[in-house]
Amino acid sequence: MPFDTLYVVLVLPTVLFALWAQFMVKSSFKKYSKQRTNNGLTGADAALHVLRQAGIDNVRIERIHGNLTDHFDPRDNVIRLSDSVHDAPSVAAVGVAAHEAGHAVQYSASYVPMKIRSAIIPVTSIGSQMAMPIVLLGIVFSFPGLINIGILLFGAVVLFQLITLPVEFNASRRAISALRETGLLTAEELPASKKVLTAAALTYVGALAVSLAQMLRLIMMTRRR
């Protein structure tokens, strides 16, 4: 099967799905950013409440520039919330912030998938940068061993994204549960926050699908050669 056909058949459909997922999360966030919380709760407030409910008092909450650049950094023990989330009193902002606080709770509770993901980050960083160059060198110099090393490194990237799925879904479950149990959002507001988090989860599914397709294409391409 020709190289271009491999890409069209294996990779392109997953790329289109990933693009659709990115569109969905942006459109969902934009839609529910217009729905204000009844109690005036902001993203930063929500993150703080989720942390307190879990008995965590050593995690900082900071503002970071950008849109949907929110993340939890376990190295600095800080939740960074974007401009559109930190001070925004919307159900979308509250959902995203609670999700990031859910990651902090995972880290504090030594959630196993979170620990595994953190442990393989160094290998993943190398794999994402070096896998393709190593495979290409192996092809150019007809060195199967080098090709296999490159594929293994790319496999580490796929493994990282695979482990990321339960981490992200679990953080969202923790977030929705905390928002419900503390009464931070009403029964009418919770579904909107859940829709934003579900859309966000699809982006991770899309990323995994693209990587799996790329790896299969890589294996088929190198084995043919």
- Domains of the chain by residue range: 3-224
The catalytic residue among 100, 168, 181, 189 is 100
Provide, rounded to the nearest whole percent, the portion of the chain with pLDDT above 90.
80
Q: Which long-range contacts (CB under 8 A, 24 or more apart) does 76-81 make?
A: 77/104, 79/47, 79/103, 79/104, 81/43, 81/44, 81/47
On the question of pLDDT at 1 being above 50, the answer is no
Instruction: Provide the residue type at 4 as one letter.
Output: D
> What pLDDT sits at residue 144?
87
Which of 115, 90, 100, 81 has the alpha carbon at shortest distance from 40?
A: 90
Q: Is 188 a catalytic residue?
A: no
Is the pLDDT at 14 greater than 80? The verdict is yes
Between 7 and 106, the higher pLDDT residue: 106
